[in-house]
Amino acid sequence: MLNIVSQLSARRDFCDGVSRRRMLQIGALGTFGLRLPDLLKAEQSGLVHPAARARKSVILVWMHGGPSQLDTFDMKPNAPAEYRGAFKPIASSLAGLDVCELLPEQAKVMDKCTVIRSFSHGNGDHWAAAHWMLTGRTGANGADRMPRYPSMGAVAAHLLGPTQSGSLANVNMNDGGFGFHGAAWLGVNHNPFRYGDFSYGNEAGQLPTGDYRSFSLTEGLSEGRLMDRVSLRQQLDSLKHRIDKNRLFDQMDAVDHQAMDLVLSGRVRKAFDVSDEDPGLRERYGAGWGEQALLARRLIEAGVRYVSLNTGYFDDHSNIEPALKDKLPRHDKCVGVLIQDLAERGMLDDTLVVVAGEFGHTPRINGNAGRDHWPQAQSLLLAGGGYRHGQVIGSTNDKAEYPTSRQIGVEDFCAIVYHAMGLKVDDSIMDLSGRPTHLVPGGQVPVELL
């Protein structure tokens, strides 16, 4: 494990015998030599965009593998059985919009949401489509999986930083997206702080990992004392005093101070500990993905700009009915309760919740009782973010095969996400050659949302 003050040259013990190297540990950010001060420096270095001061955030719920549009928000009950599938539609809080019977929690909040039924891009390769969706650029594919462009979360970390000083800018839970949530050539300092289980991703080794234990105090600072704010402040004051006595304080720059305060103040670490939430609310969210959605809300409150949460894997080429009966109810609580919770706390207008995967799935059920890749049509869900909601944008034909109105593409999707944070597709970052490049080659926010 690498610690927060390891850059200081000499190894010396404090007067109580506790070494600087052992006192504060942040193991999660040690991958590739990445330390918390480096992360904070990277985030501060990008604070040049006027939107950096606004507390505008994004929670991306990524349905890794690609959700079926016919089994979520674009049901076709009058289509032949081999198209409509096993599930029945139920009414939602948005008049005229029926959703899958496995999504009762989301049905309750659809009046706060927008469904885009006409999303389409035409690329059926998991890796290529995920890279395109998450970065706004093509490049990687199933045969060559190296990331070619930084993710939207990494760009937000670079240009905007966290919404509150002393916080993290970008957190990813459960990876998803085959590792394309990372920063690529923008630098490992802008990679997300990772949390959770990673069945996929990190094949290119670009994402550091960790959880609440990464923000740890050792050697005499117990869990109880850590969670006691008064005792914690006393420890911080004592630590700074000892550093002053050893004439080391003047060797630490402002970012090192901030990194130390982040660990010792406990704000971000406390956000990772959901056990102090109301038990009733935790029950509403549910375990697993639901608990991580609750964590996403807590991280946004603690100043994180961009949180991505994966609820996949939705690539059900066979036996899709039992697979969705297992997954969709858990995904439903994750999304539906999250949106309601944000609304109840007055956070939804400043937080965009966006639910998507890399593509949809075939309208016609195959011979293995599953659905295959189908990028020609997918349904996206949006809530909050300062947009106008309570609507359905676009439509597909009677079998949900192709858009029949208002087609929305990948660059438009990225424009929606960036706009919610105050960024524009023609804002620029420097590429590897030192030349400015737009965040996305094109795209625009659908006027219906504005």
Chain segment 390-424, per-residue pLDDT in tens: 999 999 999 999 999 999 999 999 999 999 999 99
pLDDT at 123 exceeding the cut of 70: yes
Residues 64 and 11 in one domain: no
* Residue 272: per-residue pLDDT: 86
Residues 348 and 397 in one domain: yes
Query: Is 19 among the domain residues?
Result: yes
pLDDT band (50, 70, 90) for residue 441: very high
pLDDT band (50, 70, 90) for residue 234: low
Query: Is 175 among the domain residues?
Result: yes
Residues 368 and 410 in one domain: yes
Final residue in a domain of this structure, among 227, 242, 265: 265
Query: Is 325 among the domain residues?
Result: yes
- What's the whole-number mean pLDDT along residues 135-156? 96
Residues 389 and 437 in one domain: yes
Query: Is 273 among the domain residues?
Result: no
- Unique residue bearing structure tokens 């991306």: 60
- What's the whole-number mean pLDDT along residues 21-25? 37
Residues 202 and 260 in one domain: no
* Residue 14: per-residue pLDDT: 34
Q: Crossing angle of helices 254-265/36-45, nearest 10°?
A: 120
Query: Is 283 among the domain residues?
Result: yes
Final residue in a domain of this structure, among 265, 300, 329: 265
Mean pLDDT value across the chain: 82
309 or 240: which leads in pLDDT: 309
CA 22 to chain CA centroid, Å, is 31
Half-sphere exposure of 149 (CA within 13 A, CB side): 21
Q: Following CA atoms 256, 14, 7, 234 in sequence, which dihedral angle do they give, to the nearest 10 degrees?
A: -20
pLDDT at 300 exceeding the cut of 90: yes
Residues 11 and 138 in one domain: no
Q: What are residue 396's phi and psi, to 5 degrees?
A: -125, 175
Residues 292 and 410 in one domain: yes
Residues 302 and 441 in one domain: yes
Final residue in a domain of this structure, among 265, 295, 330: 265
- Whole-number Å distance between alpha carbons of 445 and 135: 16
- What's the whole-number mean pLDDT along residues 315-323? 98
* Residue 18: per-residue pLDDT: 37
- What's the whole-number mean pLDDT along residues 17-36? 40
Residues 201 and 55 in one domain: yes
pLDDT at 346 exceeding the cut of 50: yes
Query: Is 178 among the domain residues?
Result: yes
Question: Looking at the 3D structure of the chain, how many domains does it have?
Answer: 2
* Residue 240: per-residue pLDDT: 56
Query: Is 41 among the domain residues?
Result: no
Domain residues for 304?
A: 49-212+279-449
Residues 223 and 256 in one domain: yes
- What's the whole-number mean pLDDT along residues 155-173? 92
User: The domain spanning residue 348 has which CATH number?
Assistant: 3.40.720.10
pLDDT at 44 exceeding the cut of 90: no
Residues 257 and 175 in one domain: no
Query: Is 292 among the domain residues?
Result: yes
Residues 99 and 138 in one domain: yes
pLDDT band (50, 70, 90) for residue 47: low
Helix (H/G/I), strand (E/B), else coil: 340: helix
| pTM, entire model | 0.81
pLDDT band (50, 70, 90) for residue 320: very high
